[in-house]
Amino acid sequence: MIVPSESSDGNRLWLWLLLLVAVIALGLGVWAWQAYDPFVMSRPAVKSATELVDTARKRPLTAEEFDRALALVEHHEPIAQLSVIAVLQLEGERDPTRRDAAVTALQRCQKSSNAGVCGAASTAAARLGGK
């Protein structure tokens, strides 16, 4: 019969502490990756939104580009949403015929986004004359 010694209890304690530290380090690593994702700018939605921002600065958007902006404003990527909110506000100010569609999309975005995006969409809709 093997009698456990104090050293095996000490080893077990160190093992549990090591396991706890590993779990905490893994959790911090996952959080940091989500918060500071280095590949976020290479995502298709973000690339498309950036292209729309660049295009809207230079000239009015075509109907196809405007429709793409309306679709991207409800995308799940906050960076893409914020970029497209600026585009919709610019296009709504530039072309009054697009104002109602832009305000409607911004109001829908307010209901389905995080707090930062919702605030930006609300501000843009208010500037365009929405409720």
| The pair of three-digit structure tokens given for residue 10, joined into one six-digit string | 């000490």
Task: Decide if pLDDT at 32 tops 50.
Answer: yes
> Is residue 30 over pLDDT 50?
yes
For residues 31 and 51, state if they share a domain.
no
State the pLDDT confidence band at 131, using cuts at 50, 70 and 90.
very low
Condensed to tens digits (0 to 9), the pLDDT of residues 104-115 reads 999 988 887 788
Average pLDDT over residues 32-40: 79
Q: What domain range includes position 28?
A: 1-36
28 and 62 share one domain: no
Of 30, 91, 80, 82, nearest in space to 56 by CA: 91
Q: Whose CA is closest to 69, among 83, 59, 58?
A: 83
From residue 101, alpha-carbon distances to 13, 27, 46, 66, 86 in Å are 63, 42, 22, 10, 14
For position 39, what pLDDT does the model report?
81
Q: Are residues 62 and 92 in the same domain?
A: yes
pLDDT in tens, 38-63: 787 888 999 999 999 999 999 999 99
As a whole number of angstroms, the distance between CA 86 and CA 77 comes to 15
Instruction: Encode burial over 47-84: b for 16+ CB neighbours within 10 A, e otherwise.
Output: ebbeebbeebeeeebeeebbebbbebbebebebbbbbb
Average pLDDT over residues 98-104: 92
Please report the pLDDT score of residue 58 as a whole number: 94
Whether residue 109 is found in the same domain as residue 53: yes
